[in-house]
Structure 1
Amino acid sequence: MDKMLYVAMSGASQNTLAQQAHANNMANVSTTGFQRDLEQARSMPVFGDTFASRAYAMSERPATDFSAGALQATGRDLDVAVGGDGFIAVQAPDGSEAYVRTAAMNIDAQGILRAGNGLPIMGNSGPIAIPPDEKIDVGSDGTISIRGMGETPNAVAQVDRIKLVNPPVGSLTKGTDGLIHTTSGQAAPFDANVKVESGFLEASNVNAVEEMTAVMTLSKQFELHIKMMTTAKEDDESVSRVLQNS
């Protein structure tokens, strides 16, 4: 009886956490560049002073789905998205290097090129600074070219190059800040094979139908756990009445 109640209780608790993971994916179905969190459940033995004869359910987020989302045309020159495998390097708030799949870039008042989330875009030797310009272009290899103020149309100067990387997926993790980081904490090297598409943003790779189905399934499982706890309570009360009458 005690084991049944414990398993059902732990299952309901972990089931709620699983629903939160899928709900977060659903909430970001329209967030550009968002990569969905995977979720799974498994049984774990309860270790302690006695033999581990009991088990409980545990929900966990084992990894992130790094598959690419669909490219959405914006027609804006400073909107870029990685075409195929790879990432764009940005400077995280703590000063370390992090990675994104797409960036709606803009130039701030100091001339620093920033992603849509406000983080500086990394170049050959740090955050990219853009001089005053009349026009800016981003090449497929990440090269940033500008036409300076008052210059003729053919006077194009290369300013810097966006750092594009493609580390093994197994060496990456998504942090609580929503950015991609290397598990080692070390910056990934440049990869000349990574290309970007200018005038595009990458949509979220969340499948709304799959996430909604998962939430509904987990909701039914939660109801089953509650029913098991109610049954355990009724069985316990029945046993108590039998003992009282004996």
Structure 2
Amino acid sequence: MDNTTNIALSRIDVLTRALEVTSNNLANTNTDGFKASHSQFSEFLVKQKGGNTVPGGREESYTEDRSVYQDHMQGPMHQTGNLTDFAINGEGYFSVRTSQGVRLTRNGQFQRRADGTLTDSAGNPVLDTNSRNIVLRQQDEILSVASDGTISTQEGRVANIGLVTVDNLYTLQPEGNYLLRPTTQTRNVANKEIRQGMLESSNVNAVSEMTHMITIQRDYDLNFQLVQTESTRQTNAIDKITAEPNV
């Protein structure tokens, strides 16, 4: 396999990853609390064998898949009217207790189990400011949540929804479509703003992602054609050499 093919294949490998990321973004355009991901790649140069070591020497340009990062920009809010739907305006994440440990989320589509435990859509208990499960009494009918997360019923204040964050949002590791695993120490958000009866929509820009997907697909096709053309050229050259009579 020659250098031209290797260079094209390095580009195809990166584009394949970028296509997967973009496709996942588009698939979650309507997933509440979803944060779009973006692939990051860069060029790296490799000196050709026998190439000049001085500046301006012969070098080959390859493409390297560097990382995939999340866009934590807040998505638009939409009203639902459900008493157990909550949206965060500004910084912070809800904490939920999963079988794998505490996870963070911006998806505030919660529900109340038969035993009164407030959970997310997957049944993971929502945590308060002291990292305890929020449990409401079965007889509590009136439920209101202030902007600071204070939950009140007809009996008065019963709990306070916790909001946490981390110093570097890019250290959060996505799990599934709406959960994030903190890899560094979390801290409570000082100024909380929670809105009841609303949800935060996905921050995916469908038009932008679709345009990006078309660009990736065109680039992929061009590089794939280059690989095929180079393969055909090499095959023809080999056939020509083997067909020549021995002198």
Structure 1 counterpart of 2:38, which letter?
L
From 85, 88, 91, the equivalent of 2:91 is 85
User: What are the equivalent positions in structure 2 for 1:161-200 lying under 5 Å apart?
Assistant: 161-170=160-169, 172-178=171-177, 179-184=179-184, 186=185, 188-200=186-198
1:5-59: CA deviations, max 9, x gaps? 112223223322211110000000000000001112223568xxxx9x7664333
1:98-142: CA deviations, max 9, x gaps? 211131111101211112232211013311111121211111111
Contact 1:18 1:60 in 2 (8 A): no
TM-score (normalizing by structure 1): 0.84
Please list every run of at least 4 consecutive aligned residues from structure 1 whose deviation after the TM superposition is greater than 6 angstroms.
Answer: none
Contact 2:175 2:181 in 1 (8 A): no
- Specify the alignment match of 1:8 in structure 2: 8
Identity %: 29
1:173, distance to aligned residue in structure 2 (A): 1.5
- Specify the alignment match of 1:30 in structure 2: 30
Alpha-carbon separation, structure 2, partners of 1:30 and 1:208: 10
1:167-200: CA deviations, max 9, x gaps? 224463132334122222x4x2222302111111
1:145 aligns with 2:143: no
Q: What is the DSSP-based 3-state SS (H/G/I as helix, E as strand, rest coil) of the residue aligned with 1:134?
A: coil
Unpaired segments of 5 or more residues in structure 2? 52-58
Alpha-carbon separation, structure 1, partners of 2:225 and 2:167: 45
Alpha-carbon separation, structure 2, partners of 1:64 and 1:183: 15
Alpha-carbon separation, structure 1, partners of 2:16 and 2:218: 11
Structure 2 counterpart of 1:214, which letter?
H
Structure 1 counterpart of 2:211, which letter?
T
1:131-169: CA deviations, max 9, x gaps? 12121111111111112xxxxxxxx32111111123224
Structure 2 counterpart of 1:3, which letter?
N
Alpha-carbon separation, structure 2, partners of 1:195 and 1:166: 13
- Specify the alignment match of 2:79 in structure 1: 73
Alpha-carbon separation, structure 1, partners of 2:175 and 2:163: 22
- Specify the alignment match of 2:157 in structure 1: 158
Q: What is the DSSP-based 3-state SS (H/G/I as helix, E as strand, rest coil) of the residue aligned with 2:82?
A: coil
The alpha-carbon distance between structure 1 residues 65 and 231, as it changes in their structure 2 partners (threshold 3 A), is same
1:113 aligns with 2:118: yes
Q: What is the number of equivalent residue pairs in this alignment?
A: 232
1:52-106: CA deviations, max 9, x gaps? x7664333543100000001011122110101122111113313x2211131111
Alpha-carbon separation, structure 2, partners of 1:161 and 1:63: 31
- Specify the alignment match of 2:219 in structure 1: 221
Structure 1 counterpart of 2:113, which letter?
D
* CA RMSD, Structure 1 to Structure 2 (Å): 2.5
Alpha-carbon separation, structure 2, partners of 1:122 and 1:194: 15
Structure 1 counterpart of 2:71, which letter?
D
- Specify the alignment match of 2:108 in structure 1: 103
